[in-house]
């Protein structure tokens, strides 16, 4: 899952950081597992940083400097990488681009990868009511840039489970909602994604919280990303990942079939379209 070198064979800053991490670790006589134990993470996590599937986070860099006796070397390297995403989501956004499959659950809002521009703008404006238009437009562009992942006809495979509240929570008005739900149904009809809806009648079954995303990779363990208002968390401990898989499977079991879900999505879209006309 290593990333290609920059143009002309020159190392990118990310490549430089991961090669330096490997060089200093080996010079210290530590295995990936040995360094992982010292910085309170796993050897797999260290390996992912060295091959470019996980970024060098500031708090991890500080621990590495302490254990390898490198002063503030890796701390400064980590600060040099500026992400266009919020800090709590930056690493998850990087992993999205590397994932071979993404399984998402959403309780109230359409997942970012499936949002239309108008839906995303209404969300961003709702959370930033006094922000300049240029700022909101920038946030929307970042969101749409993420969604371009689905322009690839095959990878990543995507399976999304939406609670019915996602369909019924009106964001941006009925016209925006009609277009948004039709956008999702178009992906389903093009066989690009699989979508299921957990109906209100399912009750407590299938209720997972706000957002859960499980990502799979070719040569790295599964990772879970969970998100709430202005906070997100990546989980890669096998026991926690396994637990989230079980809960996700329960949500799929409580949901309508893909065909019935598509019928519901398109039916609600037509309801919104009629409201928009009147």
Query: Token match 């990310």: residue?
Result: 14
Q: What is the pTM of this model?
A: 0.75
For 169-212, write each residue's pLDDT tens digit. 999 999 999 999 999 999 999 999 999 999 999 988 766 677 89
- Residue range 138-157, pLDDT digits in tens: 889 988 999 999 999 999 99
Instruction: Give the distance, in angstroms, between the CA of residue 148 and the centroid of all CA atoms in the same chain.
Output: 13
CB burial of residue 120 (10 Å; 0-12, 13-18, 19+): buried
Please report the pLDDT score of residue 15 as a whole number. 76
Length reported for the chain: 278
User: Is residue 66 a contact partner of residue 175, using CB atoms and an 8 Å limit?
Assistant: no
65 CB-contact burial (10 Å; exposed 0-12 / middle 13-18 / buried 19+): buried
Indicate the pLDDT class of residue 267, thresholds 50, 70 and 90: very high
Q: List, in sequence order, every residue forming a beta bridge with 193; answer none if it has no partner.
A: 158
In the structure, how many helices (H) and strands (E) does the chain have? Answer: 12, 6
Q: Domains in the chain, ordered, with CATH?
A: 7-80 (1.10.260.40), 87-277 (3.30.870)
Mean pLDDT of the chain: 87
- Angle between helices 174-189 and 117-127 in degrees, nearest 10: 130
Helix (H, G, I), strand (E, B) or coil at 126: helix
259: tokens are 């065909």
Q: Which of 102, 118, 27, 15 is nearest to 67 (CA)?
A: 27
- CB-CB contact of 116 with 122 (8 Å): no
């Amino acid at each position: 899952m290593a990333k290609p070198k920059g143009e002309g064979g020159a190392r990118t800053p990310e490549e430089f950081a991961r090669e330096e991490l490997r060089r200093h670790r080996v010079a210290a006589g530590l295995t990936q597992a040995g360094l992982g134990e010292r910085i309170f993470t796993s050897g797999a996590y260290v390996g992912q940083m060295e091959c470019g599937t996980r970024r060098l986070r500031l708090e991890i860099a500080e621990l590495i400097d302490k254990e390898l006796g490198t002063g503030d070397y890796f701390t400064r390297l980590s600060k040099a990488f500026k992400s266009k995403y919020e800090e709590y989501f930056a690493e998850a956004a990087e992993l999205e681009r590397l994932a071979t499959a993404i399984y998402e659950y959403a309780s109230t809002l359409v997942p970012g990868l499936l949002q239309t521009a108008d839906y995303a703008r209404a969300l961003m404006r709702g959370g930033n009511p006094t922000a300049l238009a240029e700022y909101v437009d920038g946030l929307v562009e970042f969101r749409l840039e993420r969604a371009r992942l689905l322009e690839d006809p095959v990878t990543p495979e995507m399976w999304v489970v939406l609670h019915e509240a996602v369909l019924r929570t009106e964001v941006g008005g009925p016209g925006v909602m009609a277009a948004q739900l039709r956008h999702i149904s178009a992906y389903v009809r093009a066989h690009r994604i699989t979508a299921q809806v957990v109906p209100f009648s399912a009750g407590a079954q299938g209720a997972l919280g706000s957002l859960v995303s499980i990502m799979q990779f070719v040569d790295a363990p599964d990772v879970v990303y969970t998100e709430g208002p202005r906070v997100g968390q990546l989980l890669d401990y096998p026991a926690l990942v396994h637990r989230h898989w079980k809960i996700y499977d329960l949500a799929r079991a409580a949901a309508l079939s893909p065909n019935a879900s598509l019928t519901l999505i398109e039916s609600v879209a037509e309801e919104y379209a009629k409201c928009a006309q009147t």
